[in-house]
Structure 1
Amino acid sequence: QLIQLNFHPQLETVLREVRYLEIKDRKDIPQAALEIYKENDTFLSYINNLNYTITSYNKIRETIAEVEYPLIEQQLQAIDHQLTDAENKLTWSTSGIGDYILRTRTMVFDLEQRLQKSKNNILEIQSIMATWSKSPLYERASARVSGTTEKQAGSGDNLLILADLDERLNKRYREIREAGERIHGLVEDNR
Structure 2
Amino acid sequence: MNQSVFDYCKGRSLVQTRSRAYRKNDQAWVEQKNGSVVRRLVGYGRLSGTDARNALAQLYASSRLYINYFQPSFKLKSKSRDGARVHKVYLTPATPCDRLLAHDSIDPAIKEKLKAQFEGLDPVRLLHEMRMAQQTLSEFAAQGIRAEAAPAEESDVAVFLTSLASAWKEGDARPTHRKQPKAKHWWRSRVDPFADA
Richer in helix (by share): 1
Which has the greater radius of gyration?
1
Q: Which has the higher strand share?
A: 2
Higher relative contact order (CA 8 A, sep 6+): 2
TM-score by structure 2 length? 0.30
TM-score by length of 1: 0.31
